[in-house]
Structure 1
Amino acid sequence: MRASAVPDARLLAEQVDLLYRHAPSIYAGNAFAATGLAIMLWSSVDQARLLGWLTALALLTLLRALLVAARRRRPDACDSLRWAHLFATGAAASGCLWGLMGWMFSAPEPLQMASTGIVLAGLVSASVSSLSVHYPAYAVFALPAILPIVARCLQSADGFMRGFALIATGFLVICLIFAWLNNRSIRAAILLRFENLDLLREVSAQREQATAAREQAEQANLAKTRFLAAASHDLRQPLQSLSLFIDAQAQDADADRMHAINRRMREAADAMGKLLDELLDYARIESGSLTPTLAPLALQASFDRLAREFQPIAEAAGLRLRFRPTRCWVHTDQALFEQILRNLVGNALRYTGQGGVMVACRRRGGRLRVEVRDSGVGIPADRLDDVFREFYQLGNPERDRRKGLGLGLSIVDGLARALDHPVSVRSQPGRGSVFALSMPPAQAQASAARHRVAAPSMRLAGHSVLLIDNEPDIREALAALMRPWGVVVHTAESAADALASLPCRPDCVLADFRLLDGHTGIDAIAALRDRFGADLPAALITGDTDPARIRDARAAGFALLQKPTPAHRLLALLEFLLQPPESAPPRAA
């Protein structure tokens, strides 16, 4: 930091502090000088006038001492400039009194002149070190202290007096120059101290930032370690089950047992797919790649969709699930909000052994409060903040995946922050928990209900689908899944392969995002549309969990399906691609 960058007010404040700090020594010097001068002149001057002058000087010194005391009691009572002006006024009054003494008590008699001159010279020279901190204060003291005696000497025709006037004038000029130089040195020293203090503060701030960054990096590293350990464990469990079931199926010819094994294989695959979906959601939240699309939403419509999804689960567990009817509308992102509510309801059902779960909306001030209440095991007070941590689960140290994956509430917290819908929780162990989401209300949209028409389920038989993927096993597995639906499947590993082998235009295209030689599914679809027309329906499928893939797909205007691809999602995607073009596209899965 350059010295010139220091604000003038800050510099003046420091000068005023020094000025008032030196004031007691200045007043003590005045008192000693006045006492000594009175002793020297007592027998040679008018004693009444001398006493009057001493009294005036004592009163002025008392007033100046009270000023110093007032500033010590109230340093911020007024600004530094006013304190400087008050001090300079006192210095000017003191200089005038000393100048009056020089006018009244100087005489041609050498001893008296020498006594008066020595006292004035001593005061003016001694004040250089103390008053030059604020140069105006020194100038208004020195000039009226010396100039009256100079004027008195110049009125005399005596050579001694005129010589004394010349010496006194030169002395005054030298003192003013020294005071000015001393003032510059003091200002430079103050500025240098400011620069050093600012540098120390900057170094200290950088050290604190470095410490905070190191601690944050350590926390991130620990979180990554926990994340990888938990993800590795939870991925291995269903994968191990799937592997064992495949081996068992290969050795068992009994149809009933094979159906049971197939069902268990489906459960293991679904569990692994659910974990991958939650890992993707968690990665999107942590990378900040979520881009909510806010719009008015009728809460009852979301309640109805979630009721249809969770009612069979609740009934199978012997629990009551109730969504209290509401006419409220909220301003939110439908997909992200329903994901929050889906995680909260699923979590409530998982930790409720008996009783039930209720979802309701109520008004709180100018906002709406969507609550998920359960009669489950509850959460201890000292664990309420922990439940939103990733992979944290109460009562599941063995990480039984049937009790969940430990990401649900972490995802809830991240999505709530992204939507600016604060989430809170209160709970009593043994009596249940209440998770609440605070949301802004929205005006009811009368036209929305008119246009919200469910797309009819389409028969896929006879439609042709081009599947582009560089993995032969994936191509064959997806083709095997779609053929029982009556779909004519064409497979290719690249756009060039497809263009060379296709007999005619397909009805839609499904392309993997990452293809051979650095090409992407977006490139492949563009090449096919160049051949068959820009209206060729197409979508992307990917196993890449990088949130950037979702942004790229959205930017290109494609629906995106994540691997592993469940049959119902693939079916829904194909029905969407083959439905009338005026229907709105779904969000990326």
Structure 2
Amino acid sequence: MPRVIVTSGRGVAVSDGLAGQVLAPWRLPEARLFNEQAKLITQHLLGVGIVGASMLGLFCALTLYWLFDDRTGFYWLACSWLLNGATYALLRNVVHRPMTAPRRFWLLVGVFASTGIVWGVLPLLILDADSPIPLLLIMVVIITHGAGTFAINASSMPLYCAYIYPAVAPLMIVSLFSSDPLMLGLGGLCFIYLLCMTMFASGAQQAARHSLQLQFTNLELVEQLRTESEQRELARAEAVAANRAKSSFLAAASHDLRQPLHALGLFLEALGRSGINGRQQEMLDNAAAVSASARHMLNTLLDYSRLEAGVIEPAPCGFRLQTLFSKLEREFGPQADAQGLVYRCRDTVLAVDTDPSLVELILRNLISNALRYTERGGVLVACRRRGAMAHIEVWDTGIGIAAENRQAVFQEFFQLGNPERDRRKGLGLGLAIVQGLCNTLGVELELASVLGKGSVFRLIVPVELGGVVSDTSAPVRQRANFDGVSVLVVDDDEAVRVAMSELLSSWGCRCLVADSAASALRVCSALPDLLIVDYRLRDGQTGADVMTALGERLGTLPPTFIITGDTAPDRLREAQSTGALLLHKPLDTARLHDAISQMLSAQSAAG
């Protein structure tokens, strides 16, 4: 036979077959379930239950007196009210007390059983075979009271039966043993009433318990969701803190590394303009190549920080792709030859409408990445038109990317096949920068790859449709001397001040140097032609403070360059807000020379 597990207040009992099913509704449920039922039942009793029963008892006593001149009801009413008062006081006293579920159960059994006994006695007090009308009236009142009690405690079948059986059974028993047909019929009706109310209470109890179980389940789910939400929020906060710490570390490390590399680059440039022999020039070229490699790695960090800072603003325009392709081929072709690879670029007549400098940076990263992970074969750069869009593609025959890594490769510091963290393979930021630049431009980037055979990255940009098309190639200019140009350099690093002074002097400039706003005011008695200032100085000063101090002293500011080694997003935003031209350490001296030339040319044209 099937076995039925029945949960009780004391544990789990096992019962068999039909007997278990019959006894199950009479068993005390688990403690928390019954405590919730008892709480609701007690609240109803203290609310309208006892008051309603008292008013119904008063109605019985008055009806018996007015209609049948029977004072028995008043004596019964006194006993009933006394019991109601004692019940009210008891429940008020224990309602908030801690109590075990079985003890609370038996307390309520006593309350309802005593009430049932009081109502069961009333028909016996007025029982008169010659006059059954008062008995029928009282029976109707008891049925009414039973219906009200059903609304209060039907969620617990044992408690309801503890009331209804003592209230109806005495009259039923007396009637069934009577020889009067009317009384026999009344006894039969009482029996049917008890049977039906027991079945109704069983169904109501099952529904109530199911509802409470669902309520508890929902509360548990809500608590679980709240806990999981708190855990996710804690994990998110930890991730944000870790990311902030990572950014701060990278910014500090980048700044501290940029300072000496910046000075080194300036010294190497100044040294190259002095008289050296062939062997010395070869060694200088090697040193410059190492410096350029380190500068490239730090500039990669800078590009990533600029993306995080949100200071990159696209400047879209129409430009011809072939000019950019040729420029990249001149740069990467020799690198591919040195690696024994083939670098090919298909000519194109397409012009596109987007930011040329950002597209160049994207392609630089993609091509550099392709050459880094290709050992045999080569790299192909091409462009195809697809409707109103141009698909700029970088193909390689490298190691390929497994399907499970095609999202991960766009995460910062993720690298394939570089467990030893070989610096020649970069920092793992190239594709993260590419993805960020694509998001900034609002263009799509697609990746297709076959493991062991190669990959293709496809940049999808809009075609220029009949607008003005510019040429992104810059004219080759001879480096001019800046004879007589006065420049004030403010930097707290002595090596940088010396190197910058040597470099600018080799370009024909008259150079003044200072390490703070106060010293800049001391050495600068007249307005210089140019101001070059480091952004982060000692004692919490910034380049903006120097600009403010000089502006107040001189009444105006000369064309200003801010040179910074900071990569922290907040610092980049602060520096950019000054309105000065922002350059980054370690500085490419050719970039500085061109910037000075353009600044002086613009100043001459404006003057």
Task: State the TM-score bracket (shorter-chain normalisation).
Answer: 0.5 to 0.7
C-alpha deviation, 1:232, in angstroms: 8.1
Does residue 329 (structure 1) correspond to residue 352 (structure 2)? The answer is yes
2:290 maps to 1:268: yes
Question: Which structure is richer in relative contact order (CA contacts within 8 A, separation 6 or more)?
Answer: 2
Q: Does 1:537 align with 2:559?
A: yes
1:357 matched residue in structure 2: 379
Question: What is the distance in 1 between the residues matched to 2:330 and 2:546?
Answer: 38
For the Cα contact (< 8 Å) 1:290–1:418, is it kept in 2?
no
Residue 320 of structure 1 aligns to a residue whose secondary structure is strand
In structure 1, the residue matched to 2:17 is none
Tell me how far apart the structure 2 counterparts of residues 297 and 197 of structure 1 sit (CA, whole Å): 62
Q: How does 1:514-553 map to 2 (within 5 A)?
A: 514-532=536-554, 534=556, 536-553=558-575
1:259 to 273, 276, 281: 281
Q: CA deviation at 1:256?
A: 5.1
Whether the aligned pair in 2 keeps the contact of 1:369 and 1:437 (CA below 8 Å) is: yes
Query: Which position in structure 2 is the counterpart of 1:209?
Result: 229
Residues in 2 aligned to 1:535 and 1:446: alpha-carbon distance in whole angstroms: 38
> Residue 423 of structure 1: SS of its match in structure 2?
strand
Instruction: State the match for 1:372 in structure 2.
Output: 394
- 1:391-445 CA distance string (max 9 Å, x none): 3332333333223232212222333344443433221133210112344x36546
Q: Is the 8 A contact 2:481 2:508 kept in 1?
A: yes
**1:472-500 alpha-carbon deviations (Å, 9 max, x no partner):** 21111111122222222222223443343
Q: Distance in 2 between matches of 1:214 and 1:368?
A: 44
Measure the CA separation in 1 of the matches of 2:350 and 2:418: 39
Q: How many equivalent residue pairs? A: 406
* Segment of structure 1 superposing worse, 514-523 or 455-464: 455-464
CA drift of 1:220 comes to 6.9
Counterpart amino acid of residue 122 in structure 1 = I
- SS of equivalent to 1:353: coil
Which of 316, 319, 337 is the aligned partner of 1:298?
319
The CA deviation at 1:341 is 1.9
Q: Deviations over 1:295-345 (max 9, x none)?
A: 3443625445434443443444442231541524344x4443332221011
Q: Do the aligned partners of residues 579 and 471 (structure 1) sit closer, same or farther apart at CA in structure 2, a change above 3 Å counting? A: same
Change in Cα spacing, 1:294 to 1:569, as seen in structure 2 (3 Å) is closer
RMSD, aligned CA: 4.7
The letter for the 2-side match of 1:211 is Q
> Which amino acid in structure 2 is aligned with residue 276 of structure 1?
L
Does the aligned pair in 2 maintain the 1:227–1:390 contact within 8 Å? Answer: no
Task: Classify the secondary structure of the residue corresponding to 1:528.
Answer: helix
The match for 2:198 is none
Q: What is the one-letter code of the residue matched to 1:394?
A: L
Say which of 459, 466, 471 aligns to 2:493: 471
In 2, Cα distance between the equivalents of 1:119 and 1:376? 95
Which residue in the other structure is 2:597 paired with?
Answer: 575
Q: Does structure 1 conserve the Cα–Cα contact (< 8 Å) formed by 2:550 and 2:557?
A: no
Cα contact 1:460–1:575 (8 A) shared by 2: no
Determine the structure 2 residue equivalent to 1:446: 467
- Identify the match of residue 504 of structure 2 among 467, 482, 493: 482
* 1:143-182 mapped onto 2 (5 Å cutoff): none
- On the 8 A contact 1:380/1:428 being kept in 2, the answer is yes
Residue of structure 2 aligned with 1:391, choices 395, 413, 426: 413
Inter-CA distance 199–339: structure 2 relative to 1 (3 Å threshold): farther
Q: Is the 8 A contact 1:292 1:336 kept in 2?
A: no
Cα offset, 1:276, TM superposition: 1.7
Q: Does residue 497 of structure 1 match 2:522? A: no
> In 2, are the aligned partners of 1:299 and 1:330 still within 8 Å (CA)?
no
For 1:68-147, list aligned pairs within 5 A. 111=132, 118=139, 122=143, 125-126=146-147, 129=150
Inter-partner Cα distance in structure 2 for 1:536 and 1:225? 37
Distance, in Å, in 1 between the alignment partners of 2:422 and 2:472 is 44
Letter in 2 for 1:321: R
* Counterpart amino acid of residue 292 in structure 1: E
On the 8 A contact 1:373/1:433 being kept in 2, the answer is yes
User: Following TM superposition, by how much is the alpha carbon of 1:537 offset from its aligned partner in structure 2, in angstroms?
Assistant: 0.9
**How far apart, in 2, do the equivalents of 1:387 and 1:343 lie?**
13
Cα deviation 1:518-562 (Å, max 9, x = unaligned) = 332223233334455646211101122222222123222111111
Q: Which residue of 1 aligns with 2:453?
A: 431
**3-state DSSP of counterpart to 1:321:** strand
Percent identical across equivalent pairs? 35
- Aligned-partner Cα distance in 1 for 2:471–2:305: 36
The 1-side partners of 2:278 and 2:474 are apart by 41
Shift of 1:347: 0.9
1:350 deviation in Å?
Answer: 2.2
Is the Cα–Cα contact under 8 Å of residues 311 and 572 in structure 2 kept in the other structure?
no
CA distance in 2, matches of 1:543, 1:352: 33
Which aligned pairs between 1:398-437 and structure 2 lie closer than 5 A?
398-437=420-459
User: Is 1:560 matched up with 2:582?
Assistant: yes
- Describe the shift of the 1:408–1:489 C-alpha distance in structure 2 as closer, same or farther (beyond 3 A): same
Equivalence for 2:529: 507
- Report the residue type matching 1:263 in the other structure: D
Counterparts of 1:177-326 in structure 2, within 5 Å, are 203-216=223-236, 257-285=279-307, 287-293=308-314, 295-298=316-319, 300=321, 302-317=324-339, 318-326=341-349
Cα displacement string for residues 173-210 of structure 1 (whole angstroms, at most 9, x for unaligned residues): xxxxxxxxxxxxx99xx99x97x888755543332133
Q: Secondary structure at the match of 1:126?
A: helix
What per-residue deviation string (whole Å, max 9, x for no partner) do you get for residues 367-393 of structure 1? 554322112232233433332233333
* Residues 1:218 and 1:554: Cα distance change in structure 2 (over 3 Å): closer
- Structure 1: segments with no counterpart, 5+ residues: 1-108, 134-185, 585-589
TM-score (norm 2): 0.56
Structure 2 gap ranges (5+): 1-129, 155-206
Separation in structure 1 between the aligned mates of residue 453 and residue 242 of structure 2, nearest angstrom: 34
How far apart, CA to CA, are the structure 2 residues paired with 1:455 and 1:303? 17
1:277 CA displacement = 1.5
Aligned 8 A contact 2:566 2:572 in 1: no
